[in-house]
Structure 1
C-alpha cells in the first residue's frame, strides 16, 4: 500500500508539472469541458486559425502548385576522346633492286637527305664494261648505216633498200643495248627516293647485298598523320577539316592542333568503331613518327532547346513536358536529342522562354490550373 501511494504521488507531481509548463492537453480539456486560454496554449490560436482557413475554403480544390523553369536555347558541346599513333606523311624503305658488294655508304642515322642523294654504291665494274661494249656496237652500227645512206644517195645500185633497212634496225638495237647497260650501271648506285630523315642502318662497306634488300628508312616528318579509332556515335561529327586537339606524354603541357584529312567509309563490325586520320604540322621537328597521342574532338551543335531533366515525363506515347499555358497545364511531346548530367536538349514545338514544369508534373492533368511556386510566394515585409 505504501508503494502504491508513492507511485500515485509521483504521477500527480508529474501531471502538475506538465500542466504548469504546457497546459492541459486538448483531449483531456474537451473530456472535462474545460476551455483553455491562448496564453496557456500558444498553439491553440494557430490550430484554430488553420481550422478556420480550412473551413473558409469550404472543402474546394485550388490550383496545383508546381515549380517551373523557362525554356532556354544553348548549343550542345560533345567531346570525343581517343588514343592514336603517329606516322610520317611520307615514309619509305630504301631497297636495292640488284645484288652486289657494297663499296661506299652514306647512311648516317638521323641525317637529313634530299631526294636523289647517293646513299650506297655497289661494285659496278661489270656493268661499266657492258656499257662500253654496247657503246662500241652502237658506234659500229651507226657507221654502217651512215655509209649505206651515202652510197644510196650517190646512186650506187649495190646498196639495196633491204640492206639499208637492216642497217637501220641494227643501229636501233645497238641504241637499246646502250640504254640497258646505262640502267644496269645506274642501279649499282642507290639514291634517296624522297627527302627526309634517315633511320638506323647497319650496312657497312664490304657487305654483300641480295636483290630487294632493305638498307634503311627515310621519314618525311614535317607533317604527321595520327590514326585513331572513334565510336560509331561520332560519325555525325566527322567532316574533312574538322579541328582536332592532340597531346603526347612525351611533351607534357603542349597541345597540338590538327585537322581530319580522311576516315573510313564503313564501321568495323567487331569494334563498332571507325578509323580516322588527322594531319598535324611538325615543321619544328618536335614530334616523331610512332609517338602516342591523346586525341580530343570538340563538337558544338546548333543552339537547341534545353531544360532540366526533371521536366521530362514518360508515358506509353513517349516523352513529354508540361507547359504553363496562361495558368493551365498543357502537355507537349518532346524528343530527347542529347542528355548530360541534369540537363536535356530536346526537339519540340515549344517557344523560347515558355515556362515548363520541372517539379510537380506527376500530379498534373491536361487543362488543370497550376501556379508556380516562385510566383505564389509573397515577399516578406522588411523588419
Structure 2
C-alpha cells in the first residue's frame, strides 16, 4: 500500500472518529456499543442501572431512546406594552404666509420693505404713482355731482306742477345718478389699488423693490411669514400609519438648538400613500411664540405610542419550522409547541400574538433540542434549588 493510500485511510478513520464523537456528545452512547465496551449486563438491579447509564448523555440529556428529561430554561409568559417609536425628518414652514403680488402696473414712489421687519395687517408696504387714478376719480366725482343736481332739479319742477318733466325724465335722471356713483366707486378702487398693504401680520422677507422701479401685474413684491406657529411637514412610512391621528403629540428637535425639544401636534395628513415612496405626508403644528424657530428649518420628528399589553418573551424562545414561528410551552413536565405571530422586535425581546395565556411556562433556552411531547426539566429551577 502506497503512502498516498495510507494518508487517505488515516484521514477517513479520523473523520469517522470525529463524527462518532459528535454523535456520542449529542445523543449519548448507543446501548449496543456500551454493552460491548462495558461487558454483559449484570442480572437484576444492576442491569437496569447499566441501561440507564447507557442512555444518559452529556448535560443530563437522554439519547433518542432514553427516558431522561431534557434540561431547558423556562420563563413565565408575561404581558408588557411595546413602545412604538417613529423617527423621521421634516421641514418647517410658517403656519401663515403670503407672497405680496402686484395686481397693477406702475412706477414705485414710496417703499417700506425693510427685511425682517414686523408688520401688521393693513400696514402700507409701497405706493405706486397714482396721478392718473386721482384725476379719474375727480372726473367721476364731478359727473356724479352733475347727475345729482339734475335729479334734484327734476324733482323740484315736478313737485311744483311743471308738466315739462315727465316720470320718464325723472327715471332717466335717477339711472344717471346710479351710474355716476358706480363710476366713482371704480375710480376709488383703482386709486386704492395703487397702495400695496400687508395682507397678514408677520415678518417681511428680502425684497429688491426700490423707489423708481416699474412694476408689472404679477410681480412678487415681498414675502410675509407669520411664524408664531410653524408647520412641520414630514413623511410617515406605510408600516407606521397606525400612529396617525389628528391631535396626536409629536416632539421635534433641530440641529440649531441641539438637546432642546419642541412640542407639537398633528393637524392634518394626506388621504393616500405616495405611489413611489409608499409614505404619507403629515403636517404637525409647532408653537413658536418665543420666535426661536425659522421657516425652512430641518426638524427631527419623533412620535411615540405604547401598545396594549402583549405577550413578550426573549427572542431565544422562538423556533421556526414549515408552519412558521412558534415557542414551546411546558405543561406537567411535557413540552408542546404552539404557533405565534411576531408583532414587534427590539433587541433580544419580541412581542407576540398568541392564544397561550399569560402565566404559562415557556422554554427560553434549549428549545432547539425539543420534540413534541418531550419530557423537560427546568435548569434554572434546579440551580435555585441547589443554591
Query: TM range, normalised to the smaller chain?
Result: 0.7 to 0.9
Q: Is 248-257 or 110-119 further displaced after alignment? A: 248-257
Q: Distance in 1 between matches of 2:308 and 2:266?
A: 21
What corresponds to 1:169 in structure 2?
A: 175
What corresponds to 1:350 in structure 2?
A: 356
Question: Cα–Cα, structure 1 residues 352 and 164, in superposed 2: closer, same or farther, change >3 Å?
Answer: same
Q: TM-score, normalised by structure 2?
A: 0.81
Out of 247, 251, 260, the residue aligned to residue 266 of structure 2 is 260
The 5 A counterparts of 1:33-72 are 54-55=49-50, 57=52, 61-72=67-78
Per-residue CA deviations over 1:127-180 (Å, capped at 9, x if unaligned) read 111111111111111111222223333333322222112111111100000000
Q: Distance in 2 between matches of 1:122 and 1:253?
A: 49
Secondary structure of 2:358 counterpart: coil
What corresponds to 2:253 in structure 1?
A: 247
Unmatched runs of 5 consecutive residues or more in structure 2: 1-45, 56-65
What corresponds to 1:115 in structure 2?
A: 121
Out of 52, 76, 81, the residue aligned to residue 75 of structure 1 is 81
What corresponds to 1:274 in structure 2?
A: 280
What corresponds to 1:195 in structure 2?
A: 201
Q: Is 73-82 or 129-138 further displaced after alignment? A: 73-82
**Deviation at residue 63 of structure 1 after TM alignment:** 2.4
**Deviation at residue 378 of structure 1 after TM alignment:** 6.4
Q: Is 75-84 or 175-184 further displaced after alignment? A: 75-84
What corresponds to 1:326 in structure 2?
A: 332
Question: Cα–Cα, structure 1 residues 96 and 52, in superposed 2: closer, same or farther, change >3 Å?
Answer: same
Per-residue CA deviations over 1:61-113 (Å, capped at 9, x if unaligned) read 12222211111211111221212211111111112211111111111111110
Secondary structure of 1:149 counterpart: helix
**Deviation at residue 345 of structure 1 after TM alignment:** 0.5
Q: TM-score, normalised by structure 1?
A: 0.82
Question: Cα–Cα, structure 1 residues 352 and 201, in superposed 2: closer, same or farther, change >3 Å?
Answer: same
- Aligned-residue CA RMSD in angstroms? 2.0
Unmatched runs of 5 consecutive residues or more in structure 1: 1-50
Secondary structure of 1:116 counterpart: coil
Q: How many residues align?
A: 331
Counterpart check, 1:375 vs 2:381: yes
Question: Cα–Cα, structure 1 residues 253 and 362, in superposed 2: closer, same or farther, change >3 Å?
Answer: closer
Per-residue CA deviations over 1:313-360 (Å, capped at 9, x if unaligned) read 222222222111122222222111111221110011122221101122
What corresponds to 2:14 in structure 1?
A: none
Q: Distance in 1 between matches of 2:358 and 2:386?
A: 31
What corresponds to 1:39 in structure 2?
A: none
Q: Is 292-301 or 144-153 further displaced after alignment? A: 144-153
Secondary structure of 1:286 counterpart: coil
Q: Distance in 2 between matches of 1:155 and 1:77?
A: 94
**Deviation at residue 379 of structure 1 after TM alignment:** 4.1
Q: Is 330-339 or 113-122 further displaced after alignment? A: 330-339
Out of 223, 228, 234, the residue aligned to residue 229 of structure 2 is 223
Q: Distance in 2 between matches of 1:298 and 1:73?
A: 19
Q: Distance in 2 between matches of 1:265 and 1:77?
A: 26
Secondary structure of 2:92 counterpart: strand
What corresponds to 1:183 in structure 2?
A: 189
What corresponds to 1:233 in structure 2?
A: 239
Q: Distance in 1 between matches of 2:174 and 2:386?
A: 117
What corresponds to 1:124 in structure 2?
A: 130
Secondary structure of 2:136 counterpart: helix
